Amino acid sequence: MESRFHIREHNSFSYFGSDDGSNRILFKYRSYFPTRLSYTLHHHVLFFLGCTGGCHENTIDKFYEKYGYHRRIALTCNKQTGQVQHKKTYLCNAPTRIKTITHMKYSWILFDADNTLFDFTHSQKKALEHTFEAFGIKYHDDLFPLFTALNNRIWKAFDENKITHEEIKTERFKVLFNDIGVKNINLDLFNIKFIDNLILYSKLIVGTEQFILNMHKKVNMAIITNGMKEVQRPRFDNCKIKDKFKHIFISGEMGLSKPNKEYFEIVHKITGNAEKSKYLVVGDNIIADVWGGKNYGFDTCWYNQHKTKNEKKEFTDYEINKIEELSMILT
């Protein structure tokens, strides 16, 4: 005898039942909007759902809400008593997908470069060590914190328009060598070798490459950096993700630096003058990036890798410790 099926709605679920005189099969069905889910992960989920027999349904529903798959639970029921005799949870059509609907909160993400995309601390440490060795100067680990502190002071002076890029190149090493008692070093040659090593030992922060590759088709991205063109351009040119950014703004080429309003004004103009609320500045420098972006009218996200106390919360719309956390902000 041909089965007759009925459908009835209950609490946002649909129940499909067979009325052919035998035990009936009910299917509970729910759909969500999807994102990508790998083949391997999909089959792990199938195994998990099969083993649990449909238990932990709230957890599973949240999982499917995140990844956008159809979840079905097959119930074999006794027609007389209505009691469930067998229950199985599975994915239909391995997997069933719906068209992805993506809404991005921002049109432009403006990334700082050093210690936001690139592990500049690593690069500086390696560059300093190998440049010391090249000039026959004994290097020890205590030198790096000393150099970092004075280098940060000098770059802060640059942010405040008290010093130029050209002065930075030699001033930081002049102060360093004076503090440690090293004499008769050609500062220009030392700086050239140091820059060569910065480029050589450049690397992205863990997780950055994959995040950018995943996001570049969903939102416009640009790099905004206070840096020397002879350092930044070669590093970017050698980077796998360079072509994922529509623009790269380098202070050494622009003659302006963050946090100056004029810097962000140029960035805004070149990127199309969209509504300021559609821009998000992401950076590790609470003044140059966060205060600078907020002062111009952009939304800001402080990339706080080391979980430092935020003394400028009034300028910070978001705070993250890993670049992957941006996904929660952007959608």
| Domain chopping of the chain, boundaries | 5-90, 108-119+203-330, 120-200
What is this structure's pTM? 0.69
**Single-letter amino acid, residue 76:** T
What pLDDT band is residue 311 in, cutting at 50, 70 and 90?
Answer: confident
CA atoms within 13 A on the CB side of 16: 8
Query: Is the pLDDT at 324 greater than 80, yes or no?
Result: yes
Sign of CA dihedral 8, 14, 16, 17: negative
Stretch 256-270: mean pLDDT: 96
Kindly report the average pLDDT of the chain as a whole number: 78
Q: pLDDT per residue over 32-62, tens digit each?
A: 323 333 333 333 333 333 333 333 445 444 4
Tell me the CA distances in angstroms from 41 to 11, 29, 36, 46, 94, one per residue in order.
29, 21, 10, 9, 12
pLDDT for position 270: 97
Could you check whether the bond before residue 34 is cis, i.e. omega within 30 degrees of 0?
A: no
Range 120-200 classified under CATH 3.40.50.150: no
- The more confident residue out of 33 and 330 is 330
Of 69-78, 148-157, 177-186, least confident by mean pLDDT is: 69-78
Phi, psi of 292 (to 5 degrees): -60, -45
* Class of domain 108-119+203-330 as given by CATH: alpha beta
For the chain, the farthest-separated pair of C-alpha atoms sits apart, in whole angstroms, at 101
pLDDT for position 158: 86
What pLDDT band is residue 275 in, cutting at 50, 70 and 90?
Answer: very high
pLDDT for position 33: 29
Two domains, one topology: 108-119+203-330 and 120-200: no
Share of the chain above pLDDT 70, in %: 69
Q: pLDDT per residue over 79-104, tens digit each?
A: 566 565 555 554 443 333 333 335 78
- Most confident range (mean pLDDT) of 9-13, 55-59, 99-103, 199-203 is 199-203
- The more confident residue out of 179 and 11 is 179
- Most confident range (mean pLDDT) of 80-89, 267-276, 306-315 is 267-276
pLDDT for position 85: 59
Give the burial class of 275: count Cβ atoms within 10 A of its Cβ; 0-12 exposed, 13-18 middle, 19 or more buried: exposed
Query: Is the pLDDT at 203 greater than 60, yes or no?
Result: yes
